[in-house]
Amino acid sequence: MRILGIETSCDETAVAVVEDGRLLGERLATQVDTHALFGGVVPEIASREHLRVLPRLYRRLMAETGLDAGDLDGVAVARGPGLLGSLLVGVSFAKGLSLASGADLIGVNHLWAHLLAPGLEGELRFPALGLLVSGGHTHIYRISSPTEFELLGRTLDDAAGEAFDKTAKMLNFPYPGGRFIDQLAQEAEPDTDLFPRPYIDNPTLDFSFSGLKTAVANYVADHPELVFGTMADPQAVADLPGERRAALARVCASFNWAVADTLRIKVERALKREGRMESLIVAGGVAANTGVRRAMGVVAEAFGIGLTLPGLSLCTDNGAMVAYAGWQLARAGYRHGLDLEAIPRGRIVPQDWERAGSGV
Ligand code: ATP
Ligand code: MG
Ligand code: FE
């Protein structure tokens, strides 16, 4: 079964083809430099860019793989969560292609796609505990199969990636700054007393990262020498002079630790509570973080379960994960009618897919 995946939920336009669980080809265009001028994603610009770029990426992918629309069994598209205008570009394109080619239309939950992505690199084992740590979400799921997700915990305010990016902004790193924090963190040992591990003294599996952000803001206010001047581009970070570099590295290492250890505590709690799991899957952009990867390795080992982490390019938004999740849904019998809607936020569950699938 051959499935095209389309991703336009935020600021990456991406397409990929997956055949029977294997990646045949992919194309991605990021808008990150455009939005960096504004220090964050500008929704109107994002939709226009998707509209401009998506048809070209699609044509290029088809040329590279030697396929045409008639060779596709399904067209999978990220239907949410994400920016409404951006999602609509992908969803409309997918509907047109499905209508023209006769391929099935499959709406995909972007967050589930993140968590299923490592299935492209190795076998996924279920039931799995899933930790999604991305730019907009911090979710813990019980994943019973590729099409059965139960949400166990979530952030009450900022997502982990948001906490990274806002902290990076306070430290004057270029946008999006998560990876710069991680990079500098490698050069120092964390001071575990510097920042609190937020929202751990409660029995829930929920997160709250806003307190950590405030702690960093207070620290920066007390140490203005850390953040003077601008660092508009990555080279400025690479060229940071010695003393200031060492002080910033200590802040970054401590922040990395506070986030990673908070995630570790909640994941351990979930694993204790949920009974036997076959694996721990960690996905989303923050799964690229060195501290998070290390902390999750420790948890998985302690519980004697497999750790599934996507390679770095599969962590952030991409088309391959949408195509793969679409393939999993398609082979489980799910598909949509042309009444498929984009869902910018909220629950996106299989019942909804079945209902929509019986429509057209
Ligand atoms: P969502 O999937 O919730 O809609 P998104 O798709 O925008 O959000 P991703 O692309 O999964 O999010 O991840 C982007 C986030 O990952 C950004 O916040 C970015 O700073 C963060 N990130 C990327 N690499 C690292 C890293 N090495 N350390 C920490 N954060 C990182
Ligand atoms: Mg992005
Ligand atoms: Fe994402």
Average pLDDT along the chain? 94
Q: Closest Cα to atom 1, ligand 1: which residue?
A: 136
CB-based neighbours (< 5 A) of ligand 2, an ion = 10-12, 317
CB-based neighbours (< 5 A) of ligand 3, an ion = 134, 317
Amino acid 355: pLDDT? 45
ipTM: 0.98
Number of H helices, E strands in the chain: 13, 10
- Which of 108, 118, 112 lies closest to 141, judged by CA? 112
Q: Where are the alpha helices (DSSP H) in the chain?
A: 32-36, 43-65, 84-101, 110-116, 160-170, 178-185, 210-222, 234-238, 242-274, 290-303, 312-315, 319-331, 350-357
pLDDT higher than threshold 60 for residue 193: yes
pLDDT higher than threshold 70 for residue 360: no
Per-residue pLDDT, averaged over 297-312, amounts to 96
Q: What is the pTM of this model?
A: 0.94
- Which of 306, 343, 303, 321 lies closest to 134, judged by CA? 321
Domains and CATH numbers, the chain: 2-117+315-355 (3.30.420.40), 123-309 (3.30.420.40)
136 within ligand 1 shell (Cβ under 6 A): yes
Q: Which two tokens stand for residue 218?
A: 């207070």
Count Cβ neighbours within 10 Å for each residue of 55-93 and write b for 16 or more, e otherwise.
eebbeebbeebebebeebbbbbbbbbbbbbbbbbbbbbb
pLDDT higher than threshold 60 for residue 153: yes
Q: Fill in the amino acid letter for 97.
A: L
Residue from 164, 175, 209, 281 to probe ligand 1 pocket by mutation (most atoms less than 8 Å from CB):
164
The answer to whether the beta carbons of residues 337 and 105 sit under 8 Å apart is: yes
Per-residue pLDDT, averaged over 23-41, amounts to 94
* Model confidence pLDDT, tens digit, residues 249-269: 999 999 999 999 999 999 999
Edge-first strand order for the sheet with 104-109 is 22-30, 12-19, 2-7, 74-80, 104-109
Task: Please list the residues that pair with 155 across neighbouring strands.
Answer: 207
The answer to whether the beta carbons of residues 262 and 211 sit under 8 Å apart is: no
35 within ligand 1 shell (Cβ under 6 A): no
Per-residue pLDDT, averaged over 73-98, amounts to 98
What is the C-alpha separation between 234 and 171, in angstroms, rounded? 13
Residue from 286, 294, 309, 345 to probe ligand 1 pocket by mutation (most atoms less than 8 Å from CB):
286
**Other residues' Cβ atoms within 10 Å of the Cβ of residue 241:** 7
Percent of the chain clearing pLDDT 90 (strictly above): 87
Per-residue pLDDT, averaged over 40-56, amounts to 97
182 within ligand 1 shell (Cβ under 6 A): yes
At residue 359 the predicted structure's pLDDT band, cuts being 50, 70 and 90, is very low
Give, to the nearest 10 degrees, the angle between helix 43-65 and helix 84-101.
30
- Which of 94, 60, 56 lies closest to 75, judged by CA? 94
Per-residue pLDDT, averaged over 129-141, amounts to 96
Rounded to the nearest angstrom, the distance between the alpha carbon of 159 and the centre of ligand 1 is 9
What is the C-alpha separation between 179 and 159, in angstroms, rounded? 15
137 is in an annotated binding site: no
Edge-first strand order for the sheet with 148-154 is 148-154, 138-145, 128-133, 279-283, 306-308
Give residue for tokens 């799921």. Answer: 141
Q: Which residues contact 7 (CB under 8 A, 6 or more apart)?
A: 13, 14, 15, 77, 78, 90, 110, 113, 317, 318, 319, 321, 322
- Which of 316, 328, 318, 345 lies closest to 106, judged by CA? 328
Q: Closest Cα to atom 6, ligand 1: which residue?
A: 317
Q: Which two tokens stand for residue 240?
A: 């940071």
Q: Closest Cα to atom 18, ligand 1: which residue?
A: 161
